């Protein structure tokens, strides 16, 4: 079937050969189930296919319009069909798509310079990959080679990707299909306090308890010469679990005693989405040794990367390439996207609109007995649903909220270990009017759920 547009229906045969008429979404759902893996989860009881987008609005193949407050998992960072990005891609595509890393690559060099400068890491060098998983793989290659150790610390409730290495760093049952790994990974207490032994502690006491846990893990489970700790400043897939400011400074003080490198996975938190800071790590008064990024920088183009101090980046003793990593097409598009973000102060907009969204949602969260908490930073907010009066996760109500908001024209994301967290993270050009529309839709949807 070719490229389709506008409201459509399709025809399919029943097992006994009769033709049945169905909507295009129903037809594509059946074909997806037949030919794509069962573990590729789809949103919604009746899945949708997004046909096109403009700004923060998308249209599905059956002609329905939605305000998109998930941006393809925080990946459409600036806007859909942003003319500056579209033009840069078209211009580069008309010249050359790919040359390989064997030749000098002007847009890649320019993007690396910009990213290194923005990173806050001194004497920074950048290596581009095609995804966040591959960026984290590269970070582990650097850290384990530099430290000559395969021991790694990660946080409980983390997600770092789907490659073999990234799965090993992930501490989240729903996203951990295998326990095999060449790394020796130990997971320490992360920022997610709910249902942990520390759930009733104040922020300060929680930080102290988490540091004590970290110390004990290093002392009891490692030989001390750990390569690195990898963290998400706000845990994305884990349901936007947000630590108190300074949490990672307290961790880093311990890590520094052993020379353990600090890796900040900024795949979701990067580029100003948290509003107050360009990078999630900056809420903690630290500078990481290594940082990874992906998703938003390409606005949908397949690009990720790792940034590290030159002495760490250059410690690799053999050649290493990524055939497609940072090719001219993706770096030209990412460069235009990043320039737009900086020139239009989208970090400032994330702060302003994120605050407005938080203030709009707070009374709804406070009045609703099955909403445990509203949390997050900037344009990275989450609602956790529970059985009223308990901390028992309630994925049924989270699912209903997804369906009800969608019915009213708003797309949100889901997350959390139990699928009971709604994630709200629109493109960073979102307007005040769109924030108010989304808030009203969430309020109306919450009000019909018992
Ligand atoms: C924090 C974090 N790191 C890494 C990844 C993996 O990125 P990718 O899916 O591009 O491999 C993700 C993806 O959701 C992520 O959220």
Q: Establish whether residue 161 lines the binding site of ligand 1, counting it when its CB lies within 6 angstroms of any ligand atom.
A: yes
pLDDT tens per residue across span 279-318? 999 999 999 999 999 999 999 999 999 999 999 999 999 9
Report the alpha-carbon distance of residue 433 to residue 409 in Å, rounded: 15
Q: Establish whether residue 237 lines the binding site of ligand 1, counting it when its CB lies within 6 angstroms of any ligand atom.
A: yes
Question: Chain-centre distance of CA 292, in angstroms?
Answer: 12
Candidates 71, 72, 132, 138: which one to mutate for ligand 1, based on the most atoms within 8 Å of Cβ?
132
Q: Establish whether residue 267 lines the binding site of ligand 1, counting it when its CB lies within 6 angstroms of any ligand atom.
A: yes
Q: Establish whether residue 172 lines the binding site of ligand 1, counting it when its CB lies within 6 angstroms of any ligand atom.
A: no
pLDDT at 9 over 80: no
Q: Which residues pair with 335 in a beta bridge?
A: none
pTM of the full structure: 0.95
Per-residue confidence band for 229, with pLDDT thresholds at 50, 70 and 90: very high
pLDDT tens per residue across span 395-439? 999 999 999 999 999 999 999 999 999 999 999 999 999 999 999
Q: How far is ligand 1, taken at its centre, from the CA of residue 268, in Å?
A: 7
Q: Are strands 421-424 and 413-415 parallel, antiparallel or unpaired?
A: antiparallel
The atom of ligand 1 lying closest to the CA of 133 is: 11
441: closest CA among 403, 396, 397? 403
Q: How far is ligand 1, taken at its centre, from the CA of residue 133, in Å?
A: 6
Let me know if 45 is exposed, middle or buried by CB neighbors in 10 A (0-12, 13-18, 19+).
exposed
Q: How far is ligand 1, taken at its centre, from the CA of residue 295, in Å?
A: 7
Q: Are strands 304-309 and 371-377 parallel, antiparallel or unpaired?
A: unpaired
The atom of ligand 1 lying closest to the CA of 304 is: 10
18-22, 275-279, 384-388: least confident range: 18-22
Candidates 71, 159, 425: which one to mutate for ligand 1, based on the most atoms within 8 Å of Cβ?
159
Q: Which residues pair with 125 in a beta bridge?
A: 308
Per-residue confidence band for 1, with pLDDT thresholds at 50, 70 and 90: very low
pLDDT at 18 over 90: no
Let me know if 428 is exposed, middle or buried by CB neighbors in 10 A (0-12, 13-18, 19+).
buried
Alpha-carbon separation of residue 261 from 123, 143, 180, 251 (angstroms): 16, 7, 23, 11
Report the alpha-carbon distance of residue 151 to residue 405 in Å, rounded: 44
Q: Establish whether residue 137 lines the binding site of ligand 1, counting it when its CB lies within 6 angstroms of any ligand atom.
A: no
pLDDT at 34 over 70: yes
Q: What does the pLDDT average to over 351-368? A: 98
The per-residue pLDDT of the chain, averaged, comes to: 94
* pLDDT computed for residue 2 by the predictor: 31
Is 381 in contact with 240 (CB distance < 8 Å)?
yes
For residue 243, give the DSSP letter.
P
Q: Establish whether residue 232 lines the binding site of ligand 1, counting it when its CB lies within 6 angstroms of any ligand atom.
A: yes
Report the alpha-carbon distance of residue 60 to residue 58 in Å, rounded: 7
pLDDT at 216 over 60: yes
Alpha-carbon separation of residue 224 from 56, 210, 376 (angstroms): 48, 18, 33
Is 272 in contact with 350 (CB distance < 8 Å)?
yes
Per-residue confidence band for 17, with pLDDT thresholds at 50, 70 and 90: low
Report the alpha-carbon distance of residue 25 to residue 46 in Å, rounded: 8
Report the alpha-carbon distance of residue 266 to residue 126 in Å, rounded: 14
Q: How far is ligand 1, taken at its centre, from the CA of residue 95, in Å?
A: 30
pLDDT at 129 over 80: yes
Q: How far is ligand 1, taken at its centre, from the CA of residue 157, in Å?
A: 14
pLDDT at 341 over 60: yes
Q: Establish whether residue 130 lines the binding site of ligand 1, counting it when its CB lies within 6 angstroms of any ligand atom.
A: no
Candidates 133, 174, 270, 425: which one to mutate for ligand 1, based on the most atoms within 8 Å of Cβ?
133
Q: What does the pLDDT average to over 319-328? A: 95
Report the alpha-carbon distance of residue 423 to residue 28 in Å, rounded: 26
Q: Establish whether residue 132 lines the binding site of ligand 1, counting it when its CB lies within 6 angstroms of any ligand atom.
A: yes
Is 303 in contact with 297 (CB distance < 8 Å)?
yes
Is 405 in contact with 416 (CB distance < 8 Å)?
no
The atom of ligand 1 lying closest to the CA of 236 is: 16
Is 311 in contact with 242 (CB distance < 8 Å)?
no
Torsion of CA 184, 190, 192, 198, to 10 degrees: 110
pLDDT at 155 over 80: yes
pLDDT tens per residue across span 51-106? 999 999 999 999 999 999 999 999 999 999 999 999 999 999 999 999 999 999 99
Q: How far is ligand 1, taken at its centre, from the CA of residue 368, in Å?
A: 32
Q: Establish whether residue 358 lines the binding site of ligand 1, counting it when its CB lies within 6 angstroms of any ligand atom.
A: no
* pLDDT computed for residue 7 by the predictor: 45
pLDDT at 35 over 90: yes
Alpha-carbon separation of residue 443 from 71, 100, 365, 389, 404 (angstroms): 21, 50, 9, 20, 10
Report the alpha-carbon distance of residue 448 to residue 450 in Å, rounded: 6
Closest Cα to atom 7, ligand 1: which residue? 132
Q: How far is ligand 1, taken at its centre, from the CA of residue 306, in Å?
A: 13
Per-residue confidence band for 6, with pLDDT thresholds at 50, 70 and 90: very low
Q: Establish whether residue 131 lines the binding site of ligand 1, counting it when its CB lies within 6 angstroms of any ligand atom.
A: yes
pLDDT at 161 over 50: yes
Q: What does the pLDDT average to over 11-20? A: 52
């Amino acid at each position: 079937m070719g490229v389709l547009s506008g409201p459509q229906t399709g025809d399919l045969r029943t097992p006994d050969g009769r033709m049945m008429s169905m909507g295009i979404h129903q037809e594509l759902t059946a074909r997806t189930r037949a030919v794509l893996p069962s573990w590729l989860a789809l949103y919604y009881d009746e899945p949708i296919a997004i046909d096109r987008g403009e700004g923060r609005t998308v249209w599905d193949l059956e002609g329905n319009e939605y305000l998109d407050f998930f941006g393809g998992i925080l990946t459409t960072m600036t806007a859909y069909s942003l003319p500056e990005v579209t033009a840069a891609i078209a211009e580069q595509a008309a010249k050359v798509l790919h040359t390989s890393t064997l030749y000098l690559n002007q847009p890649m060099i320019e993007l690396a310079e910009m990213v290194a400068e923005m990173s806050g890491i001194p004497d920074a060098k950048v290596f581009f990959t095609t995804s966040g998983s591959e960026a984290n793989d590269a970070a582990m290659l650097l850290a384990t080679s530099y430290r000559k150790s395969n021991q790694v610390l990660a946080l409980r409730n983390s997600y770092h990707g789907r490659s073999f290495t990234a799965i090993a760093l992930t501490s989240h049952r729903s996203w951990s299909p295998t326990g095999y790994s060449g790394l020796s990974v130990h997971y320490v207490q992360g920022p997610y306090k709910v249902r942990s032994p520390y759930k009733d502690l104040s922020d300060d006491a929680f930080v102290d308890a988490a540091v004590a846990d970290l110390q004990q893990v290093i002392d009891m489970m490692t030989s001390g010469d750990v390569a690195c700790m990898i963290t998400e400043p706000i845990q994305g897939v884990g349901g936007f679990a947000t630590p108190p400011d300074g949490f990672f400074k307290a961790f880093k003080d311990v890590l520094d005693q052993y020379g353990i490198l600090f890796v900040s996975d900024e795949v979701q938190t990067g580029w100003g989405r948290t509003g107050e800071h360009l990078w999630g790590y900056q809420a903690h008064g630290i500078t990481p040794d290594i940082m990874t990024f992906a998703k938003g920088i390409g606005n949908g183009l397949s690009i990720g990367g790792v940034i590290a101090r030159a002495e760490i980046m250059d410690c690799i003793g053999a050649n290493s390439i990524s055939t497609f990593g940072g090719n001219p097409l993706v770096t030209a598009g990412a460069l235009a996207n990043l320039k737009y973000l900086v020139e239009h102060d989208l970090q400032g907009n994330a702060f302003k609109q994120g605050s407005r969204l938080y203030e709009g949602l707070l009374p709804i969260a406070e009045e609703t007995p099955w909403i445990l908490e509203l949390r997050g930073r900037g344009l990275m907010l989450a609602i956790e649903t529970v059985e009223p009066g308990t901390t028992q996760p309630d994925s049924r109500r989270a699912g209903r909220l997804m369906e009800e908001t969608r019915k009213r024209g708003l797309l949100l994301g889901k997350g959390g270990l139990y699928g009971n967290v709604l994630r709200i993270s629109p493109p960073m050009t979102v307007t005040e009017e769109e924030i108010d529309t989304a808030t009203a839709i969430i309020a109306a949807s919450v009000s019909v759920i018992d």
